[in-house]
Amino acid sequence: MRALFLAIVMAVPTTASALSCRPYNAIAAFNDAADSDDAYVVAHGTLRFDESKLPKVDWDHQEDVKPDNFLTGRIDGQALTRAGFTAQFVRDININVMCAGPWCSGLSNGADYLVYLKKVGDGYLLEVNPCGGFAFQDPDDDILSKVTACIQGKRCDPELPFR
């Protein structure tokens, strides 16, 4: 089974260390999802969840930060089809906010996101990590057009300069 490459470089969790992330964008995420043995849905819309459930780092006790932090949320928008973001997609989802040592992913409640949702059983899972993962906040029309081009089999180059 091919696993998605999530660009995390783990560092020793001390205040003197830093997290180093490889550049990652919505096209690289599309390619990773397409290459995965897992099924994914690409959606664009408003993400809602309880921000109080996001992990909080106590820098004096960094070792207590859990690597996986699950919460529930909802995406209200459209799923990607060959014609673009045209299929209504309103679903409750699970979210895994991952941490690498004291560095945790961040999300914003009520924000506009382009997300890659892994199909898990009857539900969907959004995985985000300190380097971004499968959520891209405030995607512009250019990014959405490039992702649509990918599903249409057109140019899908992750080296294009955008997030």
The per-residue DSSP string of 74-118 comes to EEEEEEEETTEEEEEEEEEEEEEEEEETTEE----TTEEEEEEEE
How wide is the angle at C-alpha 86 spanned by C-alphas 84 and 91, nearest 5°?
120
Q: What is the mean pLDDT of residues 126-155?
A: 94
pLDDT of residue 102 exceeding 90, the answer is no
Q: What is the mean pLDDT of residues 43-64?
A: 86
| Residue 61: pLDDT band with limits 50, 70, 90 | low
* Distances, alpha carbon 75 to alpha carbons 42, 92, 105, 137, 149, in Å: 11, 7, 18, 13, 23
pLDDT of residue 3 exceeding 70, the answer is no
- pTM, two decimals, is 0.83
Pick 113 or 62 by higher pLDDT: 113
Contact 80, 148 (CB under 8 A): yes
pLDDT of residue 101: 80
pLDDT of residue 13: 38
Domain boundaries, the chain: 26-151
Q: What is the DSSP letter of 9?
A: B
Average pLDDT score, the chain: 85
pLDDT of residue 62: 64
pLDDT of residue 38 exceeding 90, the answer is yes
pLDDT of residue 161: 53
- In this structure, the strands spanning 123-128 and 68-81 are unpaired
pLDDT of residue 37 exceeding 80, the answer is yes
Pick 20 or 42 by higher pLDDT: 42
Q: 13 exposed, middle or buried (CB, 10 Å; 0-12, 13-18, 19+)?
A: middle
| Gyration radius from the chain CA atoms | 16
